[in-house]
């Protein structure tokens, strides 16, 4: 009971001010351009500099490293309010904060943090994170990218796929094999800066949704980096990545929650404005019951996300709850977007109304940073280990 009650004391005056600030920013700076960015797959780097100036690209980074020094509760609000307007921009903000920046923050030494975090936190640099390969999605321990120590340098070769900011990113955290395949101790994490010889981007993906969030291949062709670009200890990269993803799932859950709220906002507004048979369609039970179901499920998803954020803030184990939050919120987002299209009817199938974009953006939440099926594996493994639900 204590954990449930605790979630109702989630918001402070500061977190509500941040929520309102981000909501206002999203309406003024993102909403007017979101369809142009979506249609043309434009990654708006200038927008990210503005967000960096507001502290939105270093939300969790301590002030001494140039960040905002906030917690996961505030971070949740940042992602939700941006995704409520544009899922693609929300995804990029989440990937920058949780993955690249978050990995360096969690596992970098003091020198590494001072070198890279201030630029990432202020938006001077955009961050990327490379784990996935063409043939090793969820099966990351079979990755083919290798890093071989040669004197005072590591030589890295391989290709990474589905990399957010793979083209526009100024720095990337890349996982590479330094030991045997299928070994949890055979992978290490490295920081590679843009401009390093042999480090380039490949194909840019032409995606269904999240089109303002750039996704490309990363190509590593005899990339040489100093030994001090290794994060933590050699062989710990896979374990580091799994811990990073624990926190990253809270950001994707927040992303899904924002998309779900945005879809419901649009559906409620339209259902009040659209008249059929002499009255708003919101008056018809077929529509009002859809809204009731969505409102209830979104509320439940938010409680899960808030619980995960609270656990993360208090440095408690979060693997199970973050997986639950990511799994449930992403499935709710898909349902909310689908029902929004249905409520809009024929107009929901056009780009003149917002429902179709929520519909396209939502699906990625059930795939990225671990599919819904992978989340079920994580949840069931944790539940069986604990031998109880709570």
Catalytic residues: 369
H helix or E strand, kind and range, residue 245: helix 237-273
* Residue 235: count of CB within 10 angstroms of its CB: 15
Tokens of 19: 């929520």
3-state helix, strand, coil in the chain (%, to 5): 55, 15, 30
Between the CA of residue 243 and those of 25, 26, 102, 229, 247, what are the distances in Å? 31, 30, 10, 19, 7
Dihedrals φ, ψ of 42, to 5°?
-95, 125
CA separation for the pair 193, 154 (Å, rounded): 14
CA separation for the pair 60, 279 (Å, rounded): 48
Between the CA of residue 111 and those of 57, 116, 120, 176, what are the distances in Å? 20, 9, 15, 22
CA separation for the pair 11, 9 (Å, rounded): 6
């Amino acid at each position: 009971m204590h954990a449930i009650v605790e979630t109702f004391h989630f918001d402070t005056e500061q977190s509500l001010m941040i929520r309102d600030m981000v909501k206002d920013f999203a309406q003024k700076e993102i909403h007017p351009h979101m369809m142009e960015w979506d249609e043309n797959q434009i990654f708006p780097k200038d927008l990210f500099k503005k967000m960096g100036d507001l502290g939105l690209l270093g939300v969790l980074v301590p002030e001494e490293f140039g960040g905002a020094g906030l917690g996961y509760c505030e971070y949740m609000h940042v992602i939700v309010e941006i995704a409520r307007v544009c899922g693609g921009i929300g995804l990029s903000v989440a990937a920058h904060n949780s993955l690249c920046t978050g990995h360096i923050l969690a596992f970098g030494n003091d020198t590494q943090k001072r070198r890279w975090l201030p630029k990432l936190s202020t938006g001077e640099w955009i961050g990327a994170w490379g784990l996935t390969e063409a043939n090793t999605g969820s099966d990351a321990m079979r990755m083919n990218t290798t890093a071989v120590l040669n004197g005072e340098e590591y030589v890295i070769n391989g290709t990474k796929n589905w990399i957010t900011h793979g083209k526009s990113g100024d720095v990337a955290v890349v996982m590479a094999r330094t030991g045997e395949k299928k070994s949890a101790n055979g992978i290490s994490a490295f920081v590679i800066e843009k401009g390093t010889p042999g480090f380039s981007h490949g194909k840019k993906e032409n995606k269904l949704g999240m089109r303002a969030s750039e996704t490309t291949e990363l190509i590593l062709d005899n990339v040489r980096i100093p030994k001090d670009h290794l994060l933590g200890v050699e062989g710990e990269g896979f374990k580091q990545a799994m811990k990073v993803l624990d926190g990253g799932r809270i950001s994707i859950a927040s992303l899904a929650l924002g998309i779900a709220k945005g879809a419901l906002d649009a559906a409620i507004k339209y259902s009040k404005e659209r008249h059929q048979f002499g009255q708003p369609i919101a008056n018809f039970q077929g529509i009002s019951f859809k809204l009731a179901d969505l409102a209830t499920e979104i509320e439940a998803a938010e409680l899960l996300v808030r619980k995960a954020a609270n656990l993360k803030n208090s440095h408690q184990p979060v693997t199970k709850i973050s997986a639950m939050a990511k799994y449930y919120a992403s499935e709710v987002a898909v349902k909310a977007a689908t029902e929004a299209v249905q409520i809009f009817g024929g107009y929901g199938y056009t780009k003149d109304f917002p429902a179709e974009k929520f519909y396209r953006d939502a699906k990625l939440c059930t795939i990225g940073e671990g599919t819904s099926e992978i989340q079920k594996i994580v949840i069931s493994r944790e539940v069986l280990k604990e031998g109880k639900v709570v």
